[in-house]
Structure 1
Amino acid sequence: MDKKAIKTFAIQARRSLIESIKLKLENLGITKDGVAEKMSQSTNEIEYYGDKGLSITGQDIRRRRELVARLKGMAKQEEWSDALTDLIEEVAYTWFNRIIAIRFMEVNEYLPSGVRVLSSETKLKVPDILREAFEIEDDLGGYSVDEHEIIQKALDTEDPTDMDAAYVILFTKQANALNHYLPELFEKTDDFMQLLFTPSYSSGVIKDLVDDIKEDDFDVDKGGQVEIIGWLYQYYNIEPHDKVVNINGGPIKTNDIPAATQLFTTDWVVRYMVDNSLGRLYLEYFPDSPIKANLTYLLPGPIETRTDSFDLSKLKVLDDAMGSGHILVYAFDLLIQMYEEQGYGKRDATDAILAHNLYGLEIDKRAYQLAYFALMMKARQYNRRILSKPVRHNLHVFESTVDVPNEVFEKMNASKDTIGDLHTLVSIFKQAKLLGSIMHFEKKFDFDALFSAVNSLPDSTQLDLFGLQAAKNSLLGILKIAQVLQTHFDVVATNPPYLNRMNGDLKKYVKKYYKAYSGDLFSVFIWKNIEMTKQDGYSAYMTPFVWMFIKTYEGLRKSILDSKQISSLIQMEYSAFEEATVPINTFVLKNDMSADSTGTYLKLSDFKGGMEVQRRYVLKAVADPSVSYLYRTKQTNFEKIPGSPLCYWISDRVLKVFSLPKKINELGFSKKGLDTGENTKFYRLWFEVNSGC
């Protein structure tokens, strides 16, 4: 995989999309200064805007009205210029996500029509969808008379202008048709999203993607799949990330938290996390399973045997900061192996994994869309029919709620206590985009009663004066996420957000509910996630390694050492992670504590050269546990050292020093610093020094 090419493409794609959207907005009379009125020569059928006097007709007039209404609604919550910037970013990433998704699907022959949209299978300059437009008309939902004429003219003349006009129709038709198969990524585009994007195969983002990124990087039979999606997302966000983290060192605004905190997790780290949590847990039930041979990054160490009953369909795995879904997708691969070993076919296993085993939460809609897409594509790899039916899954994106009208609650068939709980949840979720998965609830909710209350609202099919249907949908979304956050999981694995420059609201919340772990957002996630696991369950992380040593995280360390088990940990070389200027570790905790808990630790500090070098040394340790940088240490040893730093490499001899009944400064010895032994000979007063020396 050529990460340099991927980075260059993604950065330029974002710039190109944003510039083209800004230009279209200006042509519609929408700028940072506000919304212009239509020009005097406008009629009911045609409207003119902008300095160039450009016109819009038909459906585009309605779409512009929708666009203006959306912007004005956003401007009630923030400054106009910020609202405009946020909308431009939303439109840009929406089309970027869709273009990437279509490319992935056409390379792997997952498109329902079987015809490529962005490229030609025979390497022609014109995409196959243009040449086969009439053969796949039914797959694209049919054409109007006008659309039919435009497409036919393009095929007859092959004039570039005509071909471009036909391509806009066909691309949009394909995006809309995919709504049936992937509704949460390909929302219907018969709105302002369509007004602000004009696809072109001959220049711009689509052409650059086809020309500059190797097709094999998308091919699941040649090592493609989620990693290319993750890196594209990571690099697409690199400029907003750098802009946010470099702003005067001040606190990060709520809308900027995703850009500031999201980092794609390197593939081998994902595999280490899942192999040593989900994989290890399965081996505790089935120690002789042949799956063990496929756990490439399972670190050496004894595996306890469990004797309680095991039901794979009830095993739950959560990533509560899922980004583009890398961890969940690899967990999917491992779960498929488990289901097959338990006697399931791939098709039934795929349905079960999506419906029962995998859960994901995310504050960033663009990342959520890609995680959803990546998981659906992984499911499609094992079940060819998965996209031809409604699919139940457990991925959710946090959306900040507004007040729900009292009339909505009055129409519910529910007790006073249940209505009160709904009010409480609505209040908490007003800060959903700020808090995400660290939301704290003061009580355990009765979700059966809550869902029953919301579902007692009638579905509104007519004029909805009170916004009943929107409120019902919003409440159901809140309940689904809150239920996830109050569930205990067998495995919780994530690369949590790293953020110590919290804004006032977030800092206040963290201090109130997570004071002992408030040094950084990642440390809050460390504690919250291990608390969300079942007894004897596992939580896995990739985080900065400062929590292991410095005083800021002493409360976190002591809480872990007092009640949890450090199953394994890999401390990487200081600058190994090329994508961030933070020293990284990855580790697995077990929600269990035994007096003689012994963990496996790898110290890779001496091995420089980036994550690939780190990976090779991990594999060496897996193959040969006698390597000098592998340590097996009882975690009770850490408590012998003041501050409980995780100094897993120190010798027994040094530990004995810390085990002395009294510290040196408590023994009563007289203390004296450095001394010349002959002060009159060596000391000089200031005026005795030759200032000319």
Structure 2
Amino acid sequence: YDKVSIQSQVYTPRWVVKFLVDNSLGKLYLEMFPDSAVKEKYKIANAPQTQTRERKPITEIRLVDPATGSGNFLLYAFDLFYDLYTDQIDNYGADYDENNISELIIAHNLHGVDLDDRAVQLAQLGLTIKAKRKKRSAKIEQFNVVSSDFFLPEYEKVKDLFKDGKSLDNSLEKIVKESWTDLQQAFKFGSLIRLEEKFNLRLQSFVSKDDLAKHKQVGLFNEHRQVSLFAEKNFPQLEKFRENFFVKLKEVVALNTKKQGSTFLTAKTGDAITFLQLMTQKYDVAVANPPYTDSSDFGTDLKKFIEDNYKKPHKFHTNLYAAFIKRCYELIDEKGKMALIHPLTFMYIKSFEDVRKFILEKLHFNVFVHYSADSNNLFDGAFASAPSFYVLEKGKTTKEAWFISLDQYTRTPQEKFKKNYCLEALSDYIENSINKHNYTIEQSKLKIIEGWPFIYWISDGFREKFKGDTIKRFFNVCSGLKTANNIKYFRNLSEINQKYNEKYQPIFKGGPYNKWYGNIWLSIDYKGQRNNITKESSHSFSGENNYLNKGIVCQTIGTKGTSFRIKPSEVLFSNADFGIFYKNKYHDYNYALALLNSNIIRYINEMLNPTVNIEVGDLYKIPFIQSSKELEEIISNFSYQNIEIKKHLCSFRMIEINFNKTPITSYSDSNLKDRLLSYLNFENAQLTQVLINEAIINQLIFEVYELSPEDRLQVETKMGKPVGELPVLREAREAYLSESSIDNKTVNEFIQNLSDTTFDEQKIQTIKSDFAALYQNNNDLEEFCIRNQINPINIWYWFKESKILPQARAAEIALEFLADSFRTILMEDEDGIIPLASLPSKQNLIDRLERKCMEKNGFTSAQFMQLDGLLGRPLNEYIENHFFKNFSDHLNLFMYLPKTPFIWHLSSGEYHGFEAYIIIYKWNHDSLYKLKTMYLSKRAEALQYRQIQIAESSTAQSQNEKETIRLQLKEIEEYTQKIEELIAEGYNPKLDDGVGKNIAPLQNKGLLRNDVLNKKQLEKYLKADW
């Protein structure tokens, strides 16, 4: 609780404060005085034409901010109240002295509570300055803005004051004691203390169900008293007890204050009197920018308090702002209004479902601004939360709910205009003018979609589709295996020698956005380790009956949205994925996969949950419409083709499960650069085909869902038009159709019917100049096309024409070529240890690589030398100084799993006394002995022999060489000592233990060219007990 004020102090801009206060307090005033000129000065929406609220003196209109902070809302409300008083004096004959308006506002209208004493002092100072500006002699005797940071003694010290010389029934005294204890906690929980509400609930124990129903009928029960308080037989006693309790409570606090004497504690305890008064009266308007603390950050005391007070009967406990929604509701009267700003997560997320249902059942949206993040106009970019702000009203109404949609401009160049768009939408709504940002909807329609998300912008026709069949009817969706100790059980595919170790099964574990096929990078000895997994504290075998079934997977977290891939039957899936399986196993997954990867389903997914966390419940809500058999077959065929294309492209990458050979060995061009260009042209053509197929699938799925043109436009506006539908250069189309040999009539017709376009030469050159960055930092072909809004056929054509080879992609392909070559060379070696410097009994690695390239890959000497250009540096230098680090980084596939190089670079240090590559598949306990006796000793002998050779030479060059050899021999001596230490410590590497555990002792001794594990990983692996 002590961190809440620190974490949650966020300044609310005045324009937002004005928007909310005008449309809550201002509207309330116009409901009493609809002909007031106030509506000409302020922009107040939904102002009634006739009186709809019983009039009362302005001094009786109460506004409260239960999370006051430095008083932004109160300071603006002061100005509005001032105008309301003036309006009453000038136009309604109210008997107020204009010189006393400031004092009246502070004494009667403005109320606030905050945990932070300093913030409250600022709020009081601000109000004082406001009052003094209106009237220099204004006297503020007391504020109704108070800090809850006050002290109260233990109950035992004041209980006699409650009894007033009389005895209390034990049960009633318990209620008194618990209520006093609640008040004592105000310094921790502020206005969230529910004194009256909790008091009523405690008295409920005196009431039988029959009595409860009876007293509801006679009006002794209403929603503000929460429960009926009186059993029939005890009715007079309990009625009197309830009426007297809060009077007595205030007297006790006051008496306690008096007893304190003239001290600081007296002043602080005096705040309790004001706090008690504020928390036991009703208000016309509640306004707030409440704390946004998530339940995971509550801490023990706050967590218990929130769960005790805000979890039942409705769940308002998942975030502090949700608790404040409930509290504001309790603080306002039966026709009250509440205006808040806070994160918009409550609009969709499952954990806020009760909050939504409560709001839709008990309140009405006067206005809701779907704003989202804006670093220009809201929170100055200092707060990452994406906010919404709104005005809710109690009471029945037939008026439609009004929403302002601005979320679509987040993270776009138009974000800076969101404030203007919002205020224009308000003006247009008041003037009954059309504005594309304004939406109105019968509030009950928000209940149609399961979970009642605040999805206001879709048409009634689109909304009706959620009443039909959904994913839930046809599919089981489940999370996968949770090992609860991933570093112990998961292995990168390259960590195991799959040719000789069949016990490992591949497994999905999330990964980046990727449609159709792929992200199969890990494996697990599931059968062998299942029993051990059961012993982990928080393991789960969710979805186990589907682990070896064919299906569809998508990652549970998607920063770019959902992406669905085919799940082969032999590949398991983890809790980082959802598995989707037909309930009827005879259905074709290709159609389902096409539908799930379509823009309309991506749109629905983002609509149901626009966060990065994907939920099973949201997937289940997706409308699933079965098409005609003919159309289903067409869609299914396109889906199958996309799967096969992506699968084939995976065969060129070493990290993939179906890796075959690298692009360098797949093509026969005389120049290695041309080989890579040939491959990239092929890859671009294949990915272009996928994107064309996706565009066709999107059109067909629109037909299946029978969306109106308006709904289609809405989907395309949000998701973007598929790049495969964008206009195409005539010459690019002709070249693509000619070289791709497409035999599908539908695809041919689709491409032929694409709109023609032209580009000026400057635009073309700009695009070509960007090719150097293609394939870098998630900048794949699709992303490149989306960013530039250009059809992939055009990109394929220009890329082929430009013959620009992206250096980063070339280096990556060359790295995999080297790794694949080294793997072969090391596996052919007897012990899998090859030095970088030749020894009498062993040829060095670079010479072996050259021989392999010549003999097995058919390289010429010139082609071998071309590897330098692909790598961006000489091959010798790359192998000696860069390969191991780059290769380790290349295999860093998951943020929370270690790098897993299957080739290690052993190094004695900066003077290169001893350098060798080893392969983990042959690395074992004996390897250390071999290193010491066969490699280190022979390397030392070779250096010592060289020392003898140059001993008599006195040239500068020989002197430098002598010094280098001396340092190298010293390195070898120290390296040998470290090897001996490892042997003495019982180092016994086992392939099944994985790279992390096996390499940690070597890294800890400083035996590697580069570190592989970070500090935390190293510590964890050194302590591993498996």
Q: What TM-score range do you get, normalising by the shorter chain?
A: 0.5 to 0.7
Cα distance between partner residues in 2 of 1:451 and 1:519: 33
Q: Which residue of 502, 507, 522 corresponds with 2:303? A: 507
Does residue 438 of structure 2 align to residue 630 of structure 1?
yes
Q: Which residue of 672, 681, 685 corresponds with 2:588? A: 672
- Give 1:258's aligned amino acid: S
Equivalent residue number for residue 600 of structure 1: 402
Cα distance between partner residues in 1 of 2:267 and 2:5: 24
Superposition pairs of residues 255-334 of structure 1, within 5 angstroms: 255-296=2-43, 298-299=44-45, 305-334=51-80
- Give 2:330's aligned amino acid: E
1:318 is paired with a residue of what secondary structure? strand
Does residue 127 of structure 2 align to residue 375 of structure 1?
yes
Cα distance between partner residues in 1 of 2:277 and 2:152: 20
In 1, are the aligned partners of 2:150 and 2:272 still within 8 Å (CA)? Answer: no
Equivalent residue number for residue 690 of structure 1: 660
Equivalent residue number for residue 142 of structure 1: none
Q: Which residue of 323, 331, 338 corresponds with 2:84? A: 338
Does residue 447 of structure 2 align to residue 639 of structure 1?
yes
1:537 is paired with a residue of what secondary structure? strand
| CA distance 1:512–1:447, shift in 2 (3 Å) | closer
Cα distance between partner residues in 2 of 1:620 and 1:503: 43
Q: Which residue of 598, 602, 617 corresponds with 2:421? A: 617
Superposition deviation, residue 401 in structure 1:
2.9
Deviation string, structure 1 residues 499-557 (Cα, Å, up to 9, x no partner):
01110111122122212011110011112212221112100001001111111211100
Does residue 267 of structure 2 align to residue 351 of structure 1?
no
Q: Which has the higher contact order (CA 8 A, sep 6+)?
A: 1
1:587 is paired with a residue of what secondary structure? strand
1:628 is paired with a residue of what secondary structure? coil
- Give 2:292's aligned amino acid: Y
In 1, are the aligned partners of 2:253 and 2:273 still within 8 Å (CA)? Answer: no
Cα distance between partner residues in 1 of 2:445 and 2:302: 35
Count, aligned residues: 430
Deviation string, structure 1 residues 228-275 (Cα, Å, up to 9, x no partner):
xxxxxxxxxxxxxxxxxxxxxxxxxx3322111111111100001101
| CA distance 1:422–1:471, shift in 2 (3 Å) | farther
Q: CA RMSD in A?
A: 3.3
- Give 2:64's aligned amino acid: L
Equivalent residue number for residue 989 of structure 2: none
1:443 is paired with a residue of what secondary structure? helix
Cα distance between partner residues in 2 of 1:543 and 1:645: 16
Equivalent residue number for residue 432 of structure 1: 186
1:451 is paired with a residue of what secondary structure? helix
Equivalent residue number for residue 142 of structure 2: 392
Cα distance between partner residues in 1 of 2:289 and 2:167: 40
In 1, are the aligned partners of 2:31 and 2:47 still within 8 Å (CA)? Answer: no
Q: What is the TM-score of this pair, normalised by structure 1?
A: 0.57
Superposition deviation, residue 637 in structure 1:
1.2
Does residue 258 of structure 2 align to residue 489 of structure 1?
no
Superposition deviation, residue 559 in structure 1:
0.9
Equivalent pairs: percent with the same residue?
Answer: 25
Superposition deviation, residue 407 in structure 1:
5.3
1:323 is paired with a residue of what secondary structure? coil
Cα distance between partner residues in 2 of 1:311 and 1:687: 77
In 1, are the aligned partners of 2:371 and 2:387 still within 8 Å (CA)? Answer: yes
Deviation string, structure 1 residues 577-615 (Cα, Å, up to 9, x no partner):
323001011101111244x44121111124457987332
Answer with 1 or 2: which has the greater Rg.
Answer: 2
| CA distance 1:423–1:671, shift in 2 (3 Å) | same
- Give 2:326's aligned amino acid: W
In 1, are the aligned partners of 2:151 and 2:265 still within 8 Å (CA)? Answer: no
In 2, are the aligned partners of 1:597 and 1:636 still within 8 Å (CA)? Answer: no
| CA distance 1:455–1:421, shift in 2 (3 Å) | farther
1:342 is paired with a residue of what secondary structure? helix
Cα distance between partner residues in 1 of 2:278 and 2:421: 37
Cα distance between partner residues in 2 of 1:348 and 1:382: 9
- Give 1:374's aligned amino acid: G
Bigger mean CA offset, 682-691 vs 391-400: 682-691
| CA distance 1:309–1:602, shift in 2 (3 Å) | same
Equivalent residue number for residue 530 of structure 1: 329
In 1, are the aligned partners of 2:367 and 2:401 still within 8 Å (CA)? Answer: yes
- Give 2:88's aligned amino acid: Q
| CA distance 1:395–1:405, shift in 2 (3 Å) | same
Cα distance between partner residues in 1 of 2:463 and 2:183: 48
In 2, are the aligned partners of 1:530 and 1:590 still within 8 Å (CA)? Answer: no
Deviation string, structure 1 residues 122-156 (Cα, Å, up to 9, x no partner):
xxxxxxxxxxxxxxxxxxxxxxxxxxxxxxxxxxx
Cα distance between partner residues in 2 of 1:681 and 1:310: 74
Cα distance between partner residues in 1 of 2:657 and 2:291: 58
In 1, are the aligned partners of 2:35 and 2:49 still within 8 Å (CA)? Answer: no
Cα distance between partner residues in 2 of 1:646 and 1:304: 30
1:348 is paired with a residue of what secondary structure? helix
Cα distance between partner residues in 1 of 2:326 and 2:191: 12
| CA distance 1:384–1:612, shift in 2 (3 Å) | farther
Q: Which residue of 363, 369, 375 corresponds with 1:564? A: 363
- Give 2:194's aligned amino acid: H
Superposition pairs of residues 197-208 of structure 1, within 5 angstroms: none
Q: Which residue of 572, 586, 596 corresponds with 2:389? A: 586
- Give 1:403's aligned amino acid: P
- Give 2:350's aligned amino acid: K
Q: What is the TM-score of this pair, normalised by structure 2?
A: 0.39
